[in-house]
Amino acid sequence: MNDVLRRPPTIARKGGDPVRDAVRPVVEHHETARDRASPLRPVRLFRFAIVSVLLMTGTGRAADDCSGEGVTLQVLGSGGPEVYSGRAAASYIIRVGGEARVMVDAGPGSGFRFGQSGAKFDTIRALLFTHLHVDHSADFPFYIKSSFFSPRTDRLFVYGPAANRLMPATTEFVTASIGPAPSVYPYLSDYLEGGESYRVVPADVDIAGRELISVAEFDEIRLSAIPVHHGPVPALAWRVDIEDASIVFSGDMNGDYRTLPELAKGADILVAHNAVPEEATGVARNLHMPPSVIGDIARQARVGKLVLSHRMHRTLGREPETRELIAERYKGPVVFAEDLDCFNP
Ligand SMILES: [Zn+2]
């Protein structure tokens, strides 16, 4: 096995200690660099104006704006792997007082949306991959290269699934992307090896069991994951507890493991992927959950709000029936996400 493919230890639940040991350096590191001044005021005002106009014209939706001082979920990409959807692919940021702190997935097109959001990549402490399909990961090297033009100095922690026979581990994906040759972009390898202004620090999260895994804890952020079934692909759902809010991301999954309700229990927001309609069968149903499963999970977990994302041609235009199927099971608010929408817990 060459250096590019050498695997570091995996974060796993087994026995508890490996998790704590793996996380400790993260905890120590993250006790720095908080409370930067937000550069977002003009953008916030612009977004507020847009939201106001939409509301006044009657086409407004339930999305909040990003100007709140508290925790905000912002959707960078509400689409899937379709060029013609008019949406960036899956990616989300969690902001506190406007400052981006955690990113979940880095799908293609999301980098452009990130720029439009007015957030700064320098303040992202951790990037969480639900899995490594193209529509969740392809902009990763773009973010790293773009950070060359920023003043970032803090390490960037990248967490995602461990490998199976079909897919690389997250550490392998990162190293094969920006590690030394023969990676895809060896000219970015200083971000892994320490020659740049900051380092990218990847780690793998075990996907062998079906238990909740405490992955990292720092500042007022707690990151937890649980394996979910996404066909043959290693996949995680993520929970971010940040300050007094909790936001859960299903990622792509079909519900077969029945693990998500435990992770999402009592969460303020559940971001669920609405990639297939109710009648989906075969490969599509093996990869994704239909509306009835989304509704069952939201009810079981008693989440405060359901945000539907990863919208594709298979489900676009079918929102009324999707909403109805979910409402038969879950009585809370349901919102269909658009790129750059913001949601306050
Ligand atoms: Zn996807």
171 CA to middle of ligand 1, Å?
20
Q: What averages of pLDDT result for each successive group of 10 residues across the chain (345 residues)? A: 43 45 32 32 39 34 70 97 95 96 98 96 97 98 96 95 97 98 98 95 96 95 98 98 97 98 98 98 98 98 98 97 98 98 95
Q: What is the pLDDT of residue 261?
A: 98
pLDDT at 69: 82
Q: Which domains does the chain have, with CATH numbers?
A: 10-28+41-48+61-343 (3.60.15.10)
Q: Residue 311 Cα, ligand 1 centroid: separation in angstroms?
A: 9
| Residue from 156, 62, 26 nearest 100 by CA | 156
DSSP codes joined into one string, 60-104: --S-B-S--SSEEEEEEE-B-S-GGGSS-BSEEEEEETTEEEEEE
Looking at the whole model, is its pTM more than 0.75?
A: yes
- How far does residue 140's CA lie from ligand 1's centre (Å)? 15
What is the pLDDT, as a whole number, of residue 68? Answer: 72
pLDDT number for residue 149: 93
Tell me the CA–centroid distance for residue 37 and ligand 1, in Å.
Answer: 34
Query: How far is ligand 1, taken at its centre, from the CA of residue 82, in Å?
Result: 10
pLDDT at 193: 94
DSSP helix/strand/coil, 47: helix
Measured between its terminal Cα atoms, the distance across the chain in Å is 46
